[in-house]
Amino acid sequence: MAIDKTQLIREIGLLLNDIEVKQPEKESLEWYLRNNLNDYLKVIDKVDNSNDLKIATKILSRFCLESMDWDTPLFKQCTKITELGLKLSKTT
**DSSP element (H, E) containing 16:** helix 5-21
Contacts of 32 (CB under 8 A, 6+ apart): 63, 67
For 70-81, how does the pLDDT look when each residue is reduced to its tens digit (9 = 90+)? 999 999 999 999
What is the amino acid identity at position 8? Answer: L
For 31-77, how does the pLDDT look when each residue is reduced to its tens digit (9 = 90+)? 999 999 999 999 998 887 889 999 999 999 999 999 999 999 999 99
Q: What is the pTM of this model?
A: 0.91
